[in-house]
Amino acid sequence: MVMLQRDESEQGVYQAARNCGHCAQCGRGLKPEEPVWREVFQFYRKRMTLGGMPFTVAPVCKRCHLEYDGWAPAKPCEKCQRMVVNLRRFNRVHTFCSRLCEVRYYSHRRKKAPAQQMCGECGEVFKPTRSDSLYCSNACRQRSYRKRAKKSV
Ligand SMILES: [Zn+2]
Ligand SMILES: [Zn+2]
Ligand SMILES: [Zn+2]
């Protein structure tokens, strides 16, 4: 059986892991629709000197990927839809081709606060500055507060 580990020391491997712009093995540029296999690259020397990660997972192209029975079925990257084959042992709930896609995916989700909201007092549609704001202005918030205070008397 093939040992699925490659000992590379190129900066290109990190670059490929970051944005999936090229194959980490042959350096060929990858088209958006090309599938990638995410292989493990080891960096023994860098681990000693920089205290970095002992390995990195980087994408390689169809031509370069190793035949291995530990590959999971291909899944689309949840950000860019590129087909991605991960090692079964690295298989997670979410699939991404690169770190950039992962970061973009999560930052997009976090920003999903409502773009518009209706004021709970005057009914005016406004842009909330905070995700928990209920009123268009301080005046409306105070008016609403006073109404409620009156009712409870
Ligand atoms: Zn390649
Ligand atoms: Zn992607
Ligand atoms: Zn209002």
| CA 108 / ligand 3 centre spacing (Å) | 29
CA 11, CA 98: separation in Å to the nearest integer? 15
CA 48, CA 50: separation in Å to the nearest integer? 6
Q: Is the dihedral of CA 8, 60, 15, 28 positive or negative?
A: positive
pLDDT along the chain (153 residues), means of 10: 49 89 92 94 55 76 91 95 92 90 84 77 88 87 90 70
Which one of the ligands is nearest to 80 CA? 2
| CA 81 / ligand 3 centre spacing (Å) | 42
Q: Residue 45: what pLDDT?
A: 45
Q: What is the value of pTM for the model shown?
A: 0.62
Which one of the ligands is nearest to 61 CA? 1
**Non-local CB neighbours of 142 within 8 Å, separated by 6+ positions:** none
| CA 123 / ligand 3 centre spacing (Å) | 6
